[in-house]
Amino acid sequence: MSSMAPTLHVVPPPTRQPVIESQVIGTLVFIVTEIMTFAGLISGLVIVKANHLGPWPPPDQPRLPIEATGFNTLVLLASGVALFQAWRAFKRKPLDAKKPFALAIGLGLFFVVFQGFEWVRLIGEGLTLTSGALGAFFYLIVGAHALHAVVAIVLLCVFYRRLTRLELKPGTFLGAQMFWYFVVGLWPILYVQVYL
């Protein structure tokens, strides 16, 4: 290091304390892309709906399970609330977060599995990717959301393990929350656009 510029400062400066944790910024930036992706999917559906002649949803297609999915929506929202409770407990005493954290994961799993059963039933009734615009957009949009939910649940499980070992960092927890709230908060919008 003898060739260092003479102008370099001599005392090592104190490390900078970021205003927002890096994990949170990274996740937020990623979520912006995600939101725009779903906006693209939804606007596709909206345009096709608007161009569609005749009533929507098309009467010759199977009816989407509006009530059951409404209930499932509430389950997913509850999962979001549970994760928030976990965060509040985490800030008091990390191990207190275990119960609400597990509850959040459980409710999320219930949501995904419940939807899986719905899909099996709908496919049985003849709603498929190729049965028309409704089926195509239904599986595309709901499927894209389900994919995010599954990835997020796997992540939450990983972080739950870290939590039980007291290795979970607040920044990571915050980033995970952002992502889960995104998955939870997006769903009601999709529900309104796709099902109703």
By C-beta, is 19 or 67 nearer to another protein?
19
Cis peptide, bond prior to residue 6, ω within 30 of zero: no
Is 54 one of the binding residues for another protein (CB under 8 A)? Answer: no
Among candidate residues 135, 113, 133, 140, the one with its CA nearest the CA of residue 125: 135
Is 5 one of the binding residues for another protein (CB under 8 A)? Answer: yes
Is 115 one of the binding residues for another protein (CB under 8 A)? Answer: no
Cβ at position 107, least distance to another protein in Å: 19
Tokens at 100, concatenated = 């609400």
Is 185 one of the binding residues for another protein (CB under 8 A)? Answer: no
Restricting to residues 14-33, name those near another protein by CB under 8 A: 14, 16, 18, 20, 22-23, 25-27, 29-30, 32-33
Tokens at 41, concatenated = 């999917």
- Would you tell me how many other CB atoms lie within 10 Å of the CB of residue 57? 20
In Å, the largest CA–CA distance within the chain is 80
Tokens at 110, concatenated = 């219930």
Among candidate residues 84, 79, 102, the one with its CA nearest the CA of residue 188: 79
Stretch that binds another protein, among 38-46, 65-73, 91-99, 187-195 (CB under 8 A): 38-46
- Residue holding tokens 């005392």? 11
Residues lying near another protein in the complex (CB under 8 A):
1, 3-5, 7-10, 12-14, 16, 18, 20, 22-23, 25-27, 29-30, 32-41, 43-44, 47-48, 51-52, 129-130, 132-133, 136-137, 140, 144, 148, 151-152, 154-155, 158-159, 169, 171-172, 175-176, 179
